[in-house]
Structure 1
Amino acid sequence: MANSVVQLGNDEFSRAFLRPSHINVREKRVSLAPFSSLKHARNMDETEISQLFISAVNRHHLIPGSVLVQNAHKLSCPAAEGAQRGISASIIRSLHVPRRGQAHWADQRVPVYFFPRVPDADPFAGAEKKNDNTEAGRERKWRLEQMSEAAERLFSAQHRVFLFMIVIFGRKFRLIRWDRAGIIATPPTDYYEQPGILCDYLRRLSLLDDASLGFDPTATRVLSRDPDFLRMDVAATLNNQDLDHFKCHAEEGEVGGPHVFRYVRSMFRDSLSSDWPRYRLQVPDGDSMRDYLVGKPVVHGSNVFGRGTRGYVAFDCRTGCFVWLKDVWRASVMVAEREGDVLRELNEAGIENVPTLVCHGDVGDQATVTDLWWSRGHTTSPTSPSSSASTSPSSTGRKRKRAARHHSDNGVSRFRSRQAPSANANPPCPLRRHTHYRVIVKEIALPLKNFQRGKQLASIVLDCLRAHHQAATNPATMRLHRDISGENILIYPRVRQEKDGRGHSIVWTGLLIDWELSKHGDSENVPTSEGRMGTHEFMSVNLLGNLHDPVKISDELESFFHVLVYYSVRYLRSNCTSPNSWLDNYFYFCGFPNAYTGALKSVAIKQHGYLSTLVPEGPLLFDSPMDQLLGTLIKSFRAHYKIMYHEALNAPTPSFASSSSSGTESQKAARAAALAIFAVESMVPVTVLEDDPEFAEYEANKQPIVHPDKTPTEEDRQLASRVADHSFALDFISQLLHRNDWPDDDRIPQCPAPPPPAHEPDVEPDVEEPAPPTKRRRTTGPKEKTASPTRAGTEVRRTRSRTRAAAAAAAQKGPIRRRKT
Structure 2
Amino acid sequence: MHKKITILSFDDFMKEFVPSPPTRQSLRIAKKSSCINIFSEMDTAKNEEEMYNSIPDALNKPGLCPDFTFVATPGKVDKADPTRQSVDLGMYPSTSAPKRPSDGSHARIDWSLVDIPIECKNHPTEEDPFDDDAPNSEPTAESRKAALGQILSYAELVFKYQQRTRLFMVDFLGDFVRLIHVDHGGLYATQKFNYKEEGEKVAEFFWRYSRMTPAQRGHDPTAVRIPHDSPLGLEMQRMAKMRGNDIKERDYVRAAFEKSLDRKWPWWCLNVPVVEDEGTQKEKHFTRKFLVGKPHFQAPGVAGRATRGYVALPLNASNQVKGPFVYLKDAWRVVREGIEQEGSILAELNQLKIENVPTLLYHGDIPGQATISQDIWATYHPNDKGCPLKLHQHYRLVVKEVGKPLEQFRNGFELVWALFCCIEAHQAAHEHGIIHRDISAGNILLWYDPKNGWVGMLNDWELSKRVPASDVASGGRQPDRTGTWQFMSAHALNDRFRPIVVADELEAFLHVLLYYAIRFLSHNCTAVGQFLHLYFDDYTDGNGQFNCGQMKYGAMRTGVIDLALLRSKSEEDKGKKSAVEPLRFYKPGSTAKHPIQTILEALLLWFNAYYALDNAQAEEADDSGSPSPQDSGLPEFPKGFFAKEKIYAKSDSAKPASLNAPPPTTATVRVQKATPIDSDADKVQTHAAMLSLLMHELRQRENWSANDKGPDKRPKKGYKHPKDPIPASSTQLSLASGTTGTTGTKRKADRDENPRTPKKQSKA
Shared fold (TM-score greater than 0.5)?
yes
Distance in 2, matches of 1:21 and 1:29, equals 12
Match of 2:331 in 1: 328
Secondary structure at the residue paired with 2:73?
A: strand
Secondary structure at the residue paired with 2:709?
A: coil
2:199 pairs with 1:195: yes
Give the letter for the 1:745 counterpart: N
Secondary structure at the residue paired with 1:106?
A: coil
Secondary structure at the residue paired with 1:326?
A: strand
2:74 pairs with 1:123: no
Match of 2:18 in 1: 18
Residues matched between the structures, number: 609
Trace 1:44-83 onto structure 2 (pairs within 5 A): 44-71=46-73, 73-74=75-76
Give the letter for the 1:123 counterpart: P
Trace 1:783-802 onto structure 2 (pairs within 5 A): none
> Which residue among 666, 670, 682 is the counterpart of 1:721?
682
Trace 1:318-397 onto structure 2 (pairs within 5 A): 318=316, 319-333=322-336, 335-379=338-382
Distance 1:71 1:120, change over 3 A: closer
2:293 pairs with 1:295: yes
Distance 1:165 1:590, change over 3 A: closer
Distance in 2, matches of 1:175 and 1:167, equals 7
Distance 1:180 1:598, change over 3 A: closer
CA offset at residue 70 of structure 1? Answer: 1.9
Match of 1:492 in 2: 447
Distance 1:86 1:193, change over 3 A: farther
Match of 1:730 in 2: 691
Match of 2:710 in 1: 748
Distance in 1, matches of 2:324 and 2:179, equals 43
Distance 1:535 1:129, change over 3 A: closer
Give the letter for the 2:426 counterpart: H
> 1:160, 1:216 within 8 Å by CA — same for their partners in 2?
yes
Distance in 2, matches of 1:229 and 1:310, equals 20
Distance in 2, matches of 1:45 and 1:241, equals 63
Give the letter for the 1:373 counterpart: I
Deviations 1:208-236 (A, max 9, x none): 22112111111112224642222222222
Secondary structure at the residue paired with 1:352?
A: coil
Distance 1:131 1:64, change over 3 A: closer
Distance in 2, matches of 1:17 and 1:604, equals 50
> 1:6, 1:373 within 8 Å by CA — same for their partners in 2?
no
Trace 1:463-478 onto structure 2 (pairs within 5 A): 463-473=421-431, 477-478=432-433
Distance in 2, matches of 1:310 and 1:589, equals 26
Match of 2:462 in 1: 516
Distance 1:114 1:71, change over 3 A: same
Secondary structure at the residue paired with 2:6?
A: strand
Distance 1:132 1:182, change over 3 A: closer
Deviations 1:690-745 (A, max 9, x none): xxxxxxxxxxxxxxxxx96754525x332223223111221221121121111222
2:160 pairs with 1:156: yes
> Which residue among 571, 577, 592 is the counterpart of 2:520?
571
Distance in 1, matches of 2:238 and 2:20, equals 40
2:252 pairs with 1:263: yes
Trace 1:101-180 onto structure 2 (pairs within 5 A): 105-128=111-134, 137-180=141-184
CA offset at residue 25 of structure 1? Answer: 3.6
Give the letter for the 1:605 counterpart: M
Secondary structure at the residue paired with 2:615?
A: helix
Distance in 2, matches of 1:644 and 1:29, equals 68
CA offset at residue 100 of structure 1? Answer: 8.8
> 1:453, 1:745 within 8 Å by CA — same for their partners in 2?
yes
Distance in 2, matches of 1:19 and 1:646, equals 59
Match of 2:571 in 1: none
Match of 1:702 in 2: none
Match of 2:494 in 1: 545
Match of 2:727 in 1: none
Distance in 2, matches of 1:158 and 1:213, equals 13
Deviations 1:586-633 (A, max 9, x none): 3466899996436122222223x2334336843332222112111112
> 1:75, 1:146 within 8 Å by CA — same for their partners in 2?
no
Distance in 2, matches of 1:144 and 1:75, equals 20
> 1:325, 1:440 within 8 Å by CA — same for their partners in 2?
yes
Give the letter for the 2:167 counterpart: L
Distance in 2, matches of 1:299 and 1:563, equals 18
CA offset at residue 468 of structure 1? Answer: 0.7
Distance in 2, matches of 1:228 and 1:627, equals 51
Distance in 2, matches of 1:553 and 1:753, equals 33
Distance in 2, matches of 1:566 and 1:472, equals 25
CA RMSD, Structure 1 to Structure 2 (Å): 3.2
CA offset at residue 357 of structure 1? Answer: 0.7
90-99 vs 28-37, which deviates more?
Answer: 28-37
2:435 pairs with 1:431: no
Give the letter for the 1:309 counterpart: T
State the identity as a percent.
Answer: 33
Secondary structure at the residue paired with 2:304?
A: coil
Distance in 1, matches of 2:168 and 2:539, equals 42
Distance in 2, matches of 1:373 and 1:131, equals 17
Secondary structure at the residue paired with 2:271?
A: strand
Give the letter for the 2:158 counterpart: L
CA offset at residue 362 of structure 1? Answer: 0.7
TM-score (norm 2): 0.74
Secondary structure at the residue paired with 1:108?
A: coil
724-733 vs 85-94, which deviates more?
Answer: 85-94
CA offset at residue 30 of structure 1? Answer: 6.5
Give the letter for the 1:275 counterpart: K
Distance in 2, matches of 1:141 and 1:752, equals 30
Distance in 2, matches of 1:322 and 1:510, equals 19
Give the letter for the 2:448 counterpart: P
Secondary structure at the residue paired with 2:254?
A: helix
> 1:340, 1:357 within 8 Å by CA — same for their partners in 2?
yes
Distance 1:543 1:712, change over 3 A: farther
2:598 pairs with 1:600: no
Secondary structure at the residue paired with 1:276?
A: coil
Match of 1:701 in 2: none
> 2:409, 2:415 within 8 Å by CA — same for their partners in 1?
yes
Distance in 2, matches of 1:555 and 1:66, equals 53
Give the letter for the 1:10 counterpart: F
Trace 1:499-510 onto structure 2 (pairs within 5 A): 507-510=453-456
Match of 1:618 in 2: 581
Distance in 2, matches of 1:641 and 1:427, equals 36
TM-score (norm 1): 0.69
Give the letter for the 1:515 counterpart: W
Secondary structure at the residue paired with 1:38?
A: coil
> 1:120, 1:129 within 8 Å by CA — same for their partners in 2?
no
> Which residue among 480, 484, 488 is the counterpart of 1:531?
480
Match of 1:699 in 2: none
Deviations 1:305-353 (A, max 9, x none): 1111111111111332211111111111253211111111101001111
> 1:330, 1:436 within 8 Å by CA — same for their partners in 2?
yes
CA offset at residue 372 of structure 1? Answer: 1.6
Match of 1:315 in 2: 313
Higher relative contact order (CA 8 A, sep 6+): 2
> 2:74, 2:86 within 8 Å by CA — same for their partners in 1?
no
Distance 1:358 1:20, change over 3 A: farther
CA offset at residue 67 of structure 1? Answer: 1.5
CA offset at residue 182 of structure 1? Answer: 1.1
Secondary structure at the residue paired with 2:144?
A: helix
